[in-house]
Amino acid sequence: MNSRRDFLQKVSLGLGVTALSSLPATANTIPEPFVRPEKQLRVALMGLGGYAGIVAEAMQNCKMATLVGLVSGTPSKIDTWKQKYNIPEKNTYNYENVGDIKNNPDIDMVYITTPNSLHHKHVLQVAAAGKHVLCEKPVADNARQTREMIAACEKAGVKFYIGYRMHFEPHTRELIRMREAGELGKIMHVNNYMGFKSGDPNQWRLKKALAGGGAMMDVGVYALNGARYATGEEPIWVTAQESKTDPVKFKEVDETITFQLGFPSGVIANCGTTYAFNNCERLYVIGDKGFVELSPAFGYGPIKGRTHLGPMNQPVVKHQTLQMDGIADIILNNKPDPNVTGQEGLKDMIVVDAVYESIRKGGQKIFINKA
């Protein structure tokens, strides 16, 4: 597998379903006939790489979100995407003139899917242009940058969301529902991990200047975020260890990291992430009354799960379709947010910073400062 995209692009069957964010976390998804209402969230994609292509295809089945604009530094991509998705020339921009988007009333939000270390710069640009922002995870290189991004969006009066698609995925939401309803009892332990074998040694994800970090930044945030929604708590300490089997390929970024999160209730989550091997994707939460296991747990699908009651039967869906419709519903209809704002991204980045600090200090326990 040559990249995270290759690993994750075991895309689900993509059934059209209603936006999950319009439902409380305690509800299941019910498929509905496709109907596109007049009120739409008009979205421009910034960064036309592989993941943007997945999002664009998924948006063809959205009810409330529609692709209307493009931002790219590659003119040939703009030309190809304009034709494929019927995007007017006036809604296309490059990285130098993206500020001009402020004068375009036909675009409501920009979805940033550029390399990780560009997120900070691009979010500030879009916020200054007065457009709502959706940014892929990891939100930034560190918590300091994330706070600056949140402040910029607040100052501009625009919404700021992070691409936590799992918060809209039916199996994940059922796990959260069961935990909140007390069906698992007192949470006792969490074990989860996310990783894959990285291929091309020249890809941007292995260059610190573009990626910000390695496996931990790229896919370790799935394990981290999963531990947080599996427990419903925020970690108060972390210990972490790093290992490398290929110090040449992974000279600039981390290859494999294991980390442990301690929560106020006493629960410990054992987590891991890697760029070194495949078949590394699981979320297992154990309570004193039951359990939930998702495996695969974080990829594009199909997500599969079982509980102490038997196999889970949630619908197989295209995550990005639900995510985009869900965020559109939040903005257009003032619906509750299922923990996908910039603040959610900040909570993860605070812990990511602590993970790297623990590694620098030889695996020392780091107490998390949320200030």
**Average of per-residue pLDDT across 347-369:** 97
Is 137 one of the annotated active-site residues of the chain? yes
Longest Cα pair distance anywhere in the chain, in angstroms? Answer: 58
Per-residue pLDDT band for 371 (boundaries 50, 70, 90) equals: low
Distance from C-alpha of 260 to C-alpha of 268, rounded to nearest angstrom: 7
Backbone angles phi, psi at 365, to 5 degrees: -70, 125
Which of 51, 111, 161, 222 does the annotation list as catalytic? 222
How many Cα atoms occupy the beta-carbon half-sphere of 358 within 13 Å? Answer: 24
Catalytic residue among 63, 111, 131, 137: 137
- Give tens-digit pLDDT for 269-295: 999 999 999 999 999 999 999 999 999
DSSP state of 259: E
Residues 67-98: tens digit of each pLDDT: 999 999 999 999 999 999 999 999 999 999 99
Q: How confident is the model at residue 37 (pLDDT cuts 50, 70, 90)?
A: confident
Rounded Cα distance, 296 and 303, in Å: 5
**pLDDT higher than 70, residue 134:** yes
Residue 185 has pLDDT above 60, yes or no: yes
User: Angle at the Cα of 27 (from 25 to 29), degrees rounded to 5?
Assistant: 115
pLDDT at res. 24: 39
pTM over 0.75: yes
| Cα gap 41→136, rounded to integer Å | 18
Task: Give me the domains of the chain, ranges plus CATH numbers.
Answer: 4-165 (3.40.50.720), 184-310+342-367 (3.30.360.10)
Residue 2 pLDDT: 45
Residue range 137-141: mean pLDDT, rounded: 98
Strand, helix or coil at 10? coil
All residues at 6 or more sequence positions from 360 whose CB lies less than 8 Å from its CB, including other chains: none
Q: Catalytic annotation on 207?
A: no
Tell me the pLDDT of the chain averaged across its residues: 92
* pLDDT for 319 beyond 50: yes
Q: If 0-12 CB within 10 Å is exposed, 13-18 middle and 19+ buried, where does residue 281 land?
A: buried
Q: Is residue 13 pLDDT above 80, yes or no? A: no
Give the residue among 237, 260, 257, 234 at the shortest CA–CA distance from 245: 257
User: pLDDT at position 369, please?
Assistant: 82
